Amino acid sequence: MDQLETIAADVLGISLRPAQRRALTALTTHGDTLAVLPTGSGKSAIYQVGGLALGGLTVVVSPLIALQRDQLRSMTAHGRVRAVMLNSSQHHADRQAALGELAGGRADFVMLGPEQLANAETMAAIAGSPRPVTLVAVDEAHLVSEWGHDFRPEYLRLADVVEAAGRPPVLALTATAAPPVQADITRQLRMRDPQVIVADFDRPNISLSVRRARHDLPEDRAIDDRTVEVVLAHDGPALVYALSHARCESLAERLRLDAYRAEPYHAGLPAARRAGIQDAFFAGELDVVVATSAFGMGIDKPDVRTVVHAGVPGSLDEYYQEIGRAGRDGAPATAVLVYDPRTVRIPRLLAARSKMGDAAVHKVVDAIEAATGRITVKELAESTAVGRSATARVVDELLELGLVRPDGNDAVLAAPMRDAFRQVTAAGNRRQAILRSRIEAARGYAESVHCRRAELLGYFGEHYDPPCKACDNDDHAPAAAPASALGQATGERVRHRLWGPGTLLSRDDHELVVAFDSVGYRHLTAAALTNGLLTTE
């Protein structure tokens, strides 16, 4: 630990927090480690200090280019760390310079976009570096999990990349705390006897509230009016999360009319403009950024005072991460969810869009079975007349089920498909059920009359005795049950008569929250344990 503290202070100019120390001790003395830490707790410092302590080359897989830029900037600020970045947005000269640093053994860290895991040149440069890979760090590791956010299919190749690098220790970092996500991350990454470090998730300096939009106005105007009203009533800087590109644009325009320095941020904007907006927000040149969910992942701006959601997000995992961008300096901050039941259809539609059609599955499976050797996603899409994105989703599912093996960039090796259609459709139906349950859990939070902090932490399996005295429901919350009657969430496995196995996340005298393997999150009455509907395993 003395060595770790010295590296943190002398090389990076930081002091380690207790949770960081616990994760680093696990990593350097045990090996594979999953660190589940709240947003703003300094997860990147764990792989930075750990990588330098282990020596050699640390490979960091980081999902967003903005995230890579921010982490590279902070890592090299003191001039003591050598780090390079490789992603699909780089100019040829910058890429060649980074590859040259790797070939010359002059890099301590290489930051990779997920798409680089399928890039033969990148993987060859890492394998050919004179410095051996001594750590693979997976940032925002919930993206590995089917319980996490949908993201790039290249994450499915992570475990194979680790094996190809000689099986160095794996460090997975995430702010998504639900026990099923933790289990799925360690399984997908094939972690060996992993140490799981979970820190306290309560952020007591953030007050929680929900404001209902007016039901007598058209949906768009109702959401916009209430969101602007909330921003006007609270301190800045502020982040506003919207469900669509159009909402980002309209809300930013409305806020500019009220003299706010506000800009939209979404995937429909050019990359250069998105980077400029992010930099301006960091520099204090903007009061408000109105963004879709991608903005802010891993970005540490300590003085955000208010986070507003213009509509219910797709899950409480997503919501918790986004409100965690407020008050990182420890000062009071506010998280407000603007709720209109009509907007719940938006995440439901997005979830439905991810469903794979039976015809598309049949065509792709038959084409792979008929192929000889290697076939690319592009070739499959052209030969089946199934769209590129639909083809990619089917291939991703086949990869995850282990029915095909990846072979270089955007390609798979043909194999007998056996009952692939049944397996793919069953997995797709299960994923749809889980997505729907997550949306309903977020809607339940918005409509709850109980302590919001207890509701939110209970979803993640963490017990909290209400009231918190920092949410809008406390004045109306029912009296809390005696402490002796409340059970701590243990993460124990249970079995439902209809839904099968699951993980018990939280319980009290009245209600249970269970994440079932087959149907996702469900709220049950406590009587389910006494009437035989739910049994412990």
Q: According to CATH, what is the number of the domain 484-537?
A: 2.30.30
Fold of 355-424: Arc Repressor Mutant, subunit A (1.10.10)
- List of residues 6+ apart from 221 with CB closer than 8 A: none
Q: Which backbone phi and psi does 381 adopt, to 5 degrees? A: -60, -40
Write down the pTM of the prediction. 0.72
- Is CATH 3.30.930.10 correct for 2-198? no
pLDDT of residue 219: 77
C-alpha distances out from residue 525 to 141, 247, 506, Å: 32, 38, 12
- Residue 380: enclosing H or E segment and its boundaries? helix 377-384
Q: Which one, of 347, 308, 319, 338, lies nearest residue 221 by Cα?
A: 338
How many Cα atoms occupy the beta-carbon half-sphere of 314 within 13 Å?
20
C-alpha distances out from residue 369 to 106, 372, 379, 403, Å: 45, 8, 14, 11
- Is CATH 3.30.70.1140 correct for 206-349? no
Name the amino acid, one letter, at 60: V
Buried b (16+ CB within 10 A) or exposed e, 248-285: bbbbbebbeeeebbbbbbbeebeeeebeebbeebeeee
Residue 277 token pair: 């907006």
Q: Which one, of 328, 333, 314, 316, lies nearest residue 461 by Cα?
A: 316
| Domains 206-349 and 355-424 alike in fold | no
Continuous H helices in 30-119:
43-54, 65-75, 92-103
Ranges of each domain in the chain: 2-198, 206-349, 355-424, 484-537
pLDDT of residue 346: 62
pLDDT of residue 488: 46
pLDDT of residue 314: 82
* Residue 209 near residue 337, CB atoms below 8 Å: yes
- List of residues 6+ apart from 286 with CB closer than 8 A: 237, 261, 262, 263, 277, 280
Per-residue pLDDT for the chain (537 aa), expressed as one digit of tens each? 588 888 888 877 788 888 899 999 999 999 999 998 877 677 888 999 999 999 899 999 887 776 777 778 777 777 788 888 888 777 888 889 989 988 888 889 998 888 788 788 888 888 888 999 999 999 888 878 765 445 556 777 788 888 888 899 999 998 876 777 788 888 888 899 899 988 777 889 999 999 998 888 887 888 989 999 999 999 989 999 998 888 899 999 999 988 899 999 988 888 888 888 988 998 999 999 999 876 665 566 889 999 999 998 888 888 988 898 899 888 999 999 999 888 776 666 655 656 667 788 888 888 887 887 788 888 888 888 888 778 877 887 787 777 777 766 566 766 677 778 888 877 777 777 777 788 888 888 998 888 999 888 888 777 788 899 999 998 655 544 433 333 444 568 888 887 888 888 777 666 788 888 877 778 787 777 777 788 887
How many Cα atoms occupy the beta-carbon half-sphere of 252 within 13 Å?
22
C-alpha distances out from residue 22 to 42, 320, 321, 446, Å: 13, 23, 22, 35
If DSSP codes are grouped into helix, strand and coil, which group holds residue 487?
A: strand
Q: Which single residue is written with the structure tokens 């590859």?
A: 99
Name the amino acid, one letter, at 210: V
Residue 208 token pair: 């929680």
Dump the DSSP string for 101-113. HHHTT--SEEEE-
pLDDT of residue 370: 80
- Residue 411: enclosing H or E segment and its boundaries? strand 411-413
* Residue 182 near residue 145, CB atoms below 8 Å: no
pLDDT of residue 135: 94
